[in-house]
């Protein structure tokens, strides 16, 4: 019997590589998909490609979108700056991209239909604070319900699973899980304003959460920083 297929959303960051490693460890045949959506941190696309070459079972797919055309996020417009003063504890941050995960999962669902897969995996997380409404358990539950009424699964009797295995893990727990599975985090880019070489700014929310995770996990941090930048502790 052939291995079950899963479509894994792969951004090139710390969380998504861990999800891919988990999927492989569970015996899935992994197909990765990423999105060039007009994000400022374009270096993550090259990171995702490198990660897929190590872990995926098929060539990495990159979908072209233009979320800059609607803006509304520090990641998709030059009129909103990426915050660098510290991670807020309440509210939805300006790095939230409207409808991003809804759109991404919808396209991944379509790709999975073509492949005959019924499993989607995403690195959504509700423990380390992001404030993103599309990274919460309720969103994943509702999207899975949508998949089971909006696709060919309605007629063929199969059921979709939308899996977010990191949902209840801290960043340190995610890192420890990845290390146990042989993940090389030097391949990843997490920074919201990484330069073309994928080097981190050291000050944005993503950099701060990543750095804190490595410190708590007591694992050497392989992050490459931009010239003159030191990791914040």
Helix-helix angle 137-150:100-115, to 10 degrees: 40
Number of Cβ within 10 Å of residue 160's Cβ equals 21
Whole-angstrom Cα distance, residue 192 to residue 130?
Answer: 13
Nearest in space to 11 (alpha carbons), one of 143, 131, 115, 105: 105
Average pLDDT value for residue range 10-24: 98
- Judged on CB neighbours under 10 Å (0-12, 13-18, 19+), 233 is exposed
**What is the torsion angle, in degrees rounded to the nearest 10, for the CA atoms of residue 85, residue 91, residue 93 and residue 96?**
160
Beta strands 5-9 and 161-163 are unpaired
The confidence score (pLDDT) of residue 231 equals 57
Between 233 and 25, name the one with better pLDDT: 25
pLDDT at 212 over 60: yes
pLDDT at 88 over 80: no
pLDDT at 233 over 60: no
Q: Express each pLDDT in 119-155 by its tens digit.
A: 999 999 988 667 899 999 999 999 999 999 999 888 9
pTM: 0.94
**Most distant CA atoms of the chain, gap in Å:** 58
Return the CATH superfamily for domain 5-183: HUPs (3.40.50.620)
Average pLDDT value for residue range 162-184: 97
Task: Answer whether 205's CB lies under 8 Å from 93's CB.
Answer: yes
Whole-angstrom Cα distance, residue 60 to residue 85?
Answer: 35
pLDDT at 232 over 90: no
Average pLDDT value for residue range 88-114: 93
The confidence score (pLDDT) of residue 129 equals 60
Whole-angstrom Cα distance, residue 171 to residue 179?
Answer: 12
Q: Express each pLDDT in 46-75 by its tens digit.
A: 999 999 999 999 999 999 999 999 999 999
First to last CA, the chain: 49
Beta strands 119-121 and 61-64 are unpaired
The confidence score (pLDDT) of residue 151 equals 93
CA 210 to chain CA centroid, Å, is 13
């Amino acid at each position: 019997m052939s291995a079950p297929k899963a479509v894994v959303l792969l951004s090139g960051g710390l969380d998504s590589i861990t999800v891919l490693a988990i999927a492989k460890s569970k015996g899935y045949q992994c197909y990765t998909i990423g999105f060039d959506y007009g994000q400022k941190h374009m270096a993550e696309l090259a990171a995702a490609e490198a990660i897929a070459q190590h872990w995926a079972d098929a060539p990495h797919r990159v979908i072209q979108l233009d979320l800059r055309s609607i803006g509304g996020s520090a990641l998709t417009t030059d009129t909103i700056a990426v915050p660098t003063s510290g991670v807020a504890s309440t509210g939805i941050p300006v790095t939230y991209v409207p409808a991003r995960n809804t759109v991404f999962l919808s396209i991944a669902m379509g790709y999975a239909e073509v492949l005959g897969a019924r499993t989607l995996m995403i690195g959504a997380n509700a423990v380390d604070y992001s404030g993103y409404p599309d990274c919460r358990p309720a969103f994943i539950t509702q999207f899975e319900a949508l998949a089971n009424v909006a696709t060919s699964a309605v007629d063929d009797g199969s059921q979709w699973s939308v899996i977010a295995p990191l949902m209840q893990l801290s960043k340190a727990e995610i890192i420890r899980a990845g290390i146990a599975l042989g993940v090389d985090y030097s391949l990843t880019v997490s920074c919201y304003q990484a330069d073309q070489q994928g080097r981190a700014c050291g000050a944005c929310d993503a950099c701060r959460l990543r750095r804190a995770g490595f410190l708590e996990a007591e694992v050497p941090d392989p992050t490459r920083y931009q010239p003159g930048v030191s990791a914040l502790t």
